[in-house]
């Protein structure tokens, strides 16, 4: 956003402008941490670019005097198919005052949508739960010290979180070169106070990476979903399943609904269903883990097909416009998660900023629906978009 000296900053009108405000507001180390991706950041660019290669097939002369964006996820009614992704350490975006993830949760509540609280949050599970009536899911990393993970799951359950989102794409942290150069600090995790010290120091690079190496369990495998199910009644969402080899896992009967945040691959999608999860989130962790993973929107349909409607599929990665939300729904997602845009809102304007970002995406999505001839989310179909693959195929 270009500004002349003395000129008042105009209110941002889109998510990119919020990003610029966040860049101006944050110390470089934190801004780099939030906006960066892994290694060459190819996937980071692709997450955005792949949306631009999808075009619309809008319909006309359909009554769109009322447009209904509401939907439901795992039985929870929400005002729009846009929910808050789990992102770490909101304290870095909003250092003043005790609020942090509480501000994000309150904004989600005002927007009548779901917030997924990160395992690496600055506020505690209890603080966020007490702050508002947003429907909350709890994102989980499985630590080498299983009892710590189990304690947090129990606290989430006790405090009214409605599902566990197991992030499974992080046996080790992706190589984020800006964090290495900046010597990114390790999180101080209030949730772990009295349980475990997260104070680690790297030998000259990213403390965050050293923290992940020290804590995350790289031996995590499919059978551990059985363990997780044995310690909670909550639905479980998993993030980050990858190979056909996962087929060795035995079927675990579904005891209750389970949601899964899945990173990318269709075999993984089948596996996720096989072990009895109730939903999948297609995600490449905002391009922060394995660089040269495909853009999530480009593999969404493949995953949706593999799942064959047995569980809902959600997606995240690169959602910056209401048109992106529409494209994801047309390709089979039941809802999308937004990560960085929420942080940009928080860094720029606190709770009100997050609220504005969610509102902007909602308004843009509503307009996209109207201009495409879709009065409700159920009216959005595969035939409302053309993918690059289809365009290339039609030229043969």
Site for ligand COI in 75-114 (CB under 6 A): 88
Binding segment for ligand FMN (CB under 6 A), chosen from 56-64, 79-87, 95-103, 323-331, is 79-87
Least distance CB 58 / ligand FMN (angstroms):
25
Nearer to ligand FMN, 18 or 34 (CB): 34
Site for ligand FMN in 170-229 (CB under 6 A): none
Nearer to ligand COI, 187 or 312 (CB): 187
Q: What is the residue-wise DSSP string for 336-373? A: EEE-HHHHHHHHHHHHHHHHHHHHHHHHHHHHHHHHHT
The Cα-based distances of 302 to 12, 269, 354 in angstroms read: 36, 9, 32
Q: Which residue has the tokens 């964006």?
A: 69
Least distance CB 212 / ligand COI (angstroms):
5
The answer to whether 334 and 312 have CB atoms below 8 angstroms apart is yes
Judged by DSSP in three states, 29 sits in: helix
> Which of 118, 149, 257, 355 contacts ligand FMN by CB under 6 A?
118
**φ, ψ for residue 238, nearest 5 deg:** -115, 145
Site for ligand FMN in 23-52 (CB under 6 A): 33-34, 47
Number of residues in contact with ligand COI under rule CB under 6 A: 8
Q: Which does 47 bind (CB under 5 to 8 A by kind): ligand COI, ligand FMN, none?
A: ligand FMN
Q: Per-residue string for binding with ligand COI, 183-222, x by CB under 6 A?
A: ----x--------------------x---x----------
Least distance CB 285 / ligand COI (angstroms):
6
Strand order in the sheet with 135-140: 236-239, 164-167, 135-140, 114-117, 82-84, 335-338, 313-316, 280-282
Q: Which does 208 bind (CB under 5 to 8 A by kind): ligand FMN, ligand COI, none?
A: ligand COI
Three-state helix/strand/coil letters over 273-330: HHCCCCCEEECCHHHCCCCCCCCHHHHHHHHHHHHCCCCCEEEECCCCCHHHHHHHHH
Nearer to ligand COI, 28 or 391 (CB): 28
The answer to whether 261 and 238 have CB atoms below 8 angstroms apart is yes
Catalytic residue flag (residue 285):
yes
Least distance CB 216 / ligand COI (angstroms):
7
Least distance CB 365 / ligand FMN (angstroms):
15
Nearer to ligand COI, 263 or 278 (CB): 263
Cβ burial, residue 1 (10 Å; 0-12/13-18/19+) = middle
Tokens of 74: 């795992």
Which residue from 306, 297, 176, 298 is spatially nearest to 241, judged by alpha carbons?
A: 306
Catalytic residue among 42, 90, 285, 384: 285
Residues at the site binding ligand COI, with contacts judged by CB under 6 A: 88, 120, 173, 187, 208, 212, 285, 288
Q: Which residues are catalytic?
A: 285
Q: Which residues form the interface with ligand FMN (CB under 6 A)?
A: 33-34, 47, 85-88, 118-120, 139, 167, 239, 283, 285-286, 288, 316-319, 338-340
């Amino acid at each position: 956003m270009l500004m002349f000296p003395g000129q008042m900053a105009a209110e941002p009108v889109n998510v990119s402008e919020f990003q610029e405000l966040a860049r101006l507001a944050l110390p470089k180390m934190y801004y780099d941490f939030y906006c960066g991706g892994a290694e060459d950041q190819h996937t980071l660019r692709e997450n955005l670019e792949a949306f631009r290669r999808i075009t619309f097939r809008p319909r006309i002369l359909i009554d769109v005097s009322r447009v209904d964006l509401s939907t439901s996820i795992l039985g929870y009614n929400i005002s729009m198919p846009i929910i808050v992704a789990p992102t770490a350490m909101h304290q870095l975006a909003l250092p003043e005052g005790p609020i942090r993830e509480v501000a994000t949760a309150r904004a989600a509540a005002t927007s009548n949508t779901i917030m997924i609280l990160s395992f690496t949050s600055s506020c505690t599970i209890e603080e966020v739960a007490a702050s508002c009536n947003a429907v909350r899911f709890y994102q989980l990393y499985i630590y080498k010290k299983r009892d710590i993970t189990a304690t947090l799951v129990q606290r989430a359950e006790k405090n009214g979180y409605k599902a566990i989102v197991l992030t499974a794409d992080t046996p080790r942290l992706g190589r984020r070169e800006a964090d290495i150069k900046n010597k990114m600090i390790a999180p101080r995790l209030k949730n772990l106070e009295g349980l475990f010290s997260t104070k680690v120091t790297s030998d000259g690079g990213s403390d965050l990476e050293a923290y992940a190496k020290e804590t995350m369990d790289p031996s995590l495998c499919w059978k551990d979903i059985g363990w997780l199910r044995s310690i909670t009644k909550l639905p479980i969402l998993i993030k980050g399943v990858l190979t056909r080899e996962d087929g060795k896992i035995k079927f675990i009967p579904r005891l209750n609904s389970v949601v899964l945040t899945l990173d990318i691959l269709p075999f993984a999608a089948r596996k996720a269903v096989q072990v009895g999860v109730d939903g999948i989130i297609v995600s490449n962790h905002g391009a922060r883990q394995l660089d040269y993973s495909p853009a999530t929107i480009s593999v969404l349909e493949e995953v949706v097909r593999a799942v064959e409607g047995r569980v809902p599929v959600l997606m995240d990665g690169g959602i910056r416009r209401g048109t992106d939300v529409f494209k994801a729904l047309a390709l089979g997602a039941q809802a999308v998660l937004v990560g960085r845009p929420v942080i940009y809102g928080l860094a720029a304007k606190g709770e009100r900023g997050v609220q504005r970002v969610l509102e902007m995406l909602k308004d843009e999505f509503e307009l996209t629906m109207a201009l495409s001839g879709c009065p409700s989310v159920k009216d959005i179909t595969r035939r409302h978009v053309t993918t690059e693959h289809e365009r290339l195929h039609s030229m043969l």
